[in-house]
Structure 1
Amino acid sequence: MPSISNKGLSMPESPIRKLVPFADAAKKRGIEVIHLNIGQPDIKTPQIALDAVKNNTITTLSYSKTEGSERYRSKLALYYQKHGIDVSAENILVTIGASEALAFVIGSIADTDNEIIIPEPFYANYNSFSVVFGVKVVPIVSKIETGFALPSIADFEKSITPKTKAILICNPNNPTGYLYSKEEIKQLALLVKKNDLFLIVDEVYREFVYDGKQHYSALKEENLEEHVIVIDSVSKRYSMCGARIGCIITKNEILRKTILKFMQARLSPPSYAQIAGEAALDTPQQYFDEVIAEYEIRRNTLIEGLNKIDGVKVTSPQGAFYCIVELPIKDSDTFAQWLLEHFNVNNETIMVAPAAGFYATKGLGKNQIRIAYVLERTILKKAIHILEQALKEYSLNEN
């Protein structure tokens, strides 16, 4: 048969989705699967966004502007201004989700064999996009012992080479839930300016911050306009994962014009989804207050329960709705598959994301999983019980 590309063969499987066939098989056997593997909230989408699509009177569903509708971008600019970020519609490019946003950014700033430095563990698809564009991810390890805090600036300095194009972080972090502080963002700002690099910040979870802490956007840094690129999305903020609407925010005009060429090749972002996204911007603050309070309670429920399981190590996330959990096992890939194929409690089991796929350094994360606490508390408590019982039985089999 004709050969497959090396790029295709090198493309990593998603640790979040690769076990789906085993979950589907379990469901066909009558097993209920509790999905802790994916950040799909059970929070309802704001009705105002759903109604905007449902009640629309469009008669011809035409292309939108390549960079997104001006109305939507203007309204987005007002959202950021409300959060103390000085941007205009011209600084915003609308994309098909944050994934396309990141792909276009990487394609615009990096050539084959260029390097992007990323603290690990990181969102698994960062590895995928690096393969697509032939870019090398240079990981710097953050550790569970420090709560996955930003590695030292000295570690970043040592990793910078003539091929380095950018530093990429997710704030708050997926998969660790770590919230980078204002001081840490400022340290990175000084570093990228000193070395003439881009600072790419994935701020998809910017709304979800706990314990009275505040999110500090890299866009607030002065004299860094040519360096900062922010990625954002409606998916998590409004529980609109299926809308697939994101955006790129940058004041670097040359970069925006370059990204626009990639966007022209895919024509335009979806019109109905932009209508929903525009309407969602009118969501009252009460919605977010209630959602954030609910996630904080879910986090507390999960962390409290996990800390009671022998041999389990976990830190308390400060943002987003994920945590990395270290288990008393050798291989979380094998364990995650075993959960779906061979284990259940009262015909129920759990699906988790093996954490090795969130690292670039081979061998790291082998005994860790990522859990998304996007389900209600009663289900989380049930999932914790299933995990505890599974570990007891699995440890006997593994040893």
Structure 2
Amino acid sequence: MKKKIGIPSKRFFNKAEKLVKSAIGAMPELYQDYYHVNDILTDDTPELQNLILRETGLEKFKISAGTSDMLAFKPYISQLIGDIQGNTYYRNYNNPLGNTNARQALAIAENAKFSKDIYTYKNVGLTEGSTGAISQIFEYIKREYPKSEVVIASPTYYLYKYLAKFYQLDYKEAFRIKPGRTAEFDSIKDIEEKISPRTKLIILVQPNNPTNQLSSISDLKALLVRCKKQKILLLVDELFSDLMYDESLFTPSDNIAEKVNALQNLVIVKGYSKSKNLAGFRIGYLFSANKNFMQCIDEISEQRQCFAGASNFAGVIILDSFIQTILTQVAKGVKVDMAIFKSKILFKNVGLPFNRNSSIKKVVKSYTAYKNNLIQKYGDYLDLVLETLGNDIESFVPKTTAFNTFVKIKGVEKTNFFDVCLNYYLCSNVVTQIGPCFAFDQENWQRSPNLGFWLRISYSRENKRKFIVSLKEFSEFKKIYLNNPDKFLRTNLVF
């Protein structure tokens, strides 16, 4: 029977404290930040996890997960199974940038946005998820500009700041918030202020995770012009661009770059983990019109001696690229049948999984239905999240893109944020991620009135009941914790 949220025994807290201190003490200096401490305590300290399981009787649950529980598109799963059964890709070696047909398919799909071809397969590199792409770009910067500086639009994915530290590159975090019930995080103006003569790389996630912020076309255009003028590489992470609630609001970064003749200053990163729900397959890619940059990425890929495993899933990449090419043309006003006809010509040398028009039309129609259903489900989920936490929310971010949201929890301003999250985990076996996982450090979030206790909520859980119960338990726990702080574990640690 499920236990209610309560205050565990002193004996339990003593055991937990020893395990927590031991785990943190064993972490290397590079991991002494909020994200890594939180991640290692909740995912890589089995003794602590077993202790919590015995105490609560509950399996671990994440309300801030970076992946979705939703199933992938069935034809993609069928394609994967068929390719494995047919020994199609996995028995072959590929060149450093990955399977050529898959890269050609991606180039065709990305070209569909333009009136002329911008990319060939040589402008595309397969990577181990989008994280592999990001890592290669940082390695390029370290190799070519070892004394340079990186500007990171924050809050954002922890890996950007981690890689800057790992490669011993100086970095600045660009940040700007417009407070209010619906808060807006928009970093571009601060990015421009933080650019220096040493800046060689700027990071922008468009749309942002976790804030859902979408930078305006005019701001992005001005930033690209600045990058062109000062010979800066702009890395735009478009991982969440396929999950817009209103697709008309998003303009691809390379469409904007083309208009200001700044394609040479742009590299885009994408992957199949968020919108395709294939996170575990680690399918990612980067692409850029800059030939010299791509040549360096080729060399970096080769020296790693372990080329992208995404090549094993070339069939899915080709199938998805084919579907996206058709849908891009349809969005531009081309009739479906004509879009299929044109796309078949473009893909004739790539290796399509099927050729019959009736089959293609059916798959495109079912993919559209799948995606629309996914977006609808996410949207309903988000509304339920805001309703459930209503009285605890001081601010939230716009409903722009699925499947994360960022909410500011009120009432915990005078607490130690690490202790709040740690004790919630100890009492409920529920894992959270808050502001310092995505920018700055814990002290900044606790001290600044414009920051505070911002909680990322991933409303992509399949078990809706468990998810909503976890949110309600968070509210319940918060009341108990604030009324009885001395009865909980107090570390006073700051990361």
Q: Does 1:139 align with 2:173?
A: yes
Partner of 1:47: 74
Shift of 1:252: 0.5
Shift of 1:16: 6.4
SS of residue matched to 2:242: coil
Distance 1:78 1:25, change over 3 A: farther
Once residues 102 and 224 of structure 1 are traced to their aligned partners in structure 2, the CA distance between those partners, rounded to angstroms, is 20
Greater alpha carbon shift after TM alignment, 362-371 vs 351-360: 362-371
Greater alpha carbon shift after TM alignment, 161-170 vs 190-199: 190-199
Match of 1:331 among 391, 416, 439: 416
Once residues 280 and 126 of structure 2 are traced to their aligned partners in structure 1, the CA distance between those partners, rounded to angstroms, is 16
Tell me the alpha carbon deviations over residues 326-381 of structure 1, each in whole angstroms, 9 at most, x when there is no partner: 22322332212111212x4xxxx532113212113562334232221111444443
Once residues 262 and 51 of structure 2 are traced to their aligned partners in structure 1, the CA distance between those partners, rounded to angstroms, is 51
Match of 2:379 among 296, 303, 318: 296
Once residues 465 and 437 of structure 2 are traced to their aligned partners in structure 1, the CA distance between those partners, rounded to angstroms, is 29
Partner of 2:308: 269
Tell me the alpha carbon deviations over residues 213-247 of structure 1, each in whole angstroms, 9 at most, x when there is no partner: 52111111220111011011111121000011111
Once residues 164 and 232 of structure 2 are traced to their aligned partners in structure 1, the CA distance between those partners, rounded to angstroms, is 17
Indicate the structure (1 or 2) with the bigger Cα radius of gyration. Answer: 2
Q: Which amino acid aligns with 2:298?
A: L
Q: Does 1:374 align with 2:452?
A: no
Shift of 1:320: 3.7
Whether contact under 8 Å (2:158, 2:437) holds in the other structure is yes
Distance 1:212 1:70, change over 3 A: closer
Match of 1:129 among 147, 163, 176: 163
Shift of 1:152: 5.6
Amino-acid identity (%): 19
Whether contact under 8 Å (1:172, 1:179) holds in the other structure is yes
Tell me the alpha carbon deviations over residues 63-104 of structure 1, each in whole angstroms, 9 at most, x when there is no partner: 222111111112112322344484332211111111110111
Structure 2: 5+ residue runs without aligned partners? 1-26, 324-363, 447-452, 487-495
Distance 1:75 1:137, change over 3 A: same
Once residues 130 and 50 of structure 2 are traced to their aligned partners in structure 1, the CA distance between those partners, rounded to angstroms, is 27
Tell me the alpha carbon deviations over residues 184-208 of structure 1, each in whole angstroms, 9 at most, x when there is no partner: 3223222222332111100111101
Distance 1:48 1:16, change over 3 A: farther
Distance 1:79 1:97, change over 3 A: same
Distance 1:247 1:25, change over 3 A: farther
Q: Which amino acid aligns with 2:95?
A: K
Partner of 1:365: 445
Whether contact under 8 Å (1:235, 1:242) holds in the other structure is yes
Q: Which amino acid aligns with 1:278?
A: I
Greater alpha carbon shift after TM alignment, 179-188 vs 141-150: 141-150
Shift of 1:8: 5.2
Partner of 2:471: 384
Partner of 1:149: 185
Whether contact under 8 Å (2:263, 2:289) holds in the other structure is yes
Match of 1:287 among 350, 366, 370: 370
Q: Does 1:117 align with 2:115?
A: no
Greater alpha carbon shift after TM alignment, 36-45 vs 56-65: 56-65
SS of residue matched to 2:302: helix
Once residues 480 and 147 of structure 2 are traced to their aligned partners in structure 1, the CA distance between those partners, rounded to angstroms, is 45
Q: Does 1:64 align with 2:64?
A: no
SS of residue matched to 2:244: coil
Greater alpha carbon shift after TM alignment, 373-382 vs 288-297: 373-382
Q: Does 1:397 align with 2:484?
A: yes
Tell me the alpha carbon deviations over residues 123-171 of structure 1, each in whole angstroms, 9 at most, x when there is no partner: 1111211122111220122326163432362x33331222211211111
Once residues 152 and 275 of structure 1 are traced to their aligned partners in structure 2, the CA distance between those partners, rounded to angstroms, is 38
Q: Does 1:26 align with 2:52?
A: yes
Q: Which amino acid aligns with 1:92?
A: V
Once residues 38 and 191 of structure 1 are traced to their aligned partners in structure 2, the CA distance between those partners, rounded to angstroms, is 35
Whether contact under 8 Å (2:188, 2:223) holds in the other structure is no
Query: RMSD of the alignment, in Å?
Result: 2.5
SS of residue matched to 1:375: coil
Q: Does 1:355 align with 2:355?
A: no
Residue pairs, 1:189-228, within 5 angstroms = 189-211=224-246, 213-220=248-255, 221-222=257-258, 223-228=261-266
Shift of 1:257: 0.5
Q: Which amino acid aligns with 1:319?
A: T
Distance 1:188 1:303, change over 3 A: farther
Larger relative helix fraction: 2
Whether contact under 8 Å (2:64, 2:432) holds in the other structure is yes
Shift of 1:319: 1.4
Aligned residues: 386
Once residues 144 and 16 of structure 1 are traced to their aligned partners in structure 2, the CA distance between those partners, rounded to angstroms, is 28
Structure 1: 5+ residue runs without aligned partners? 1-6
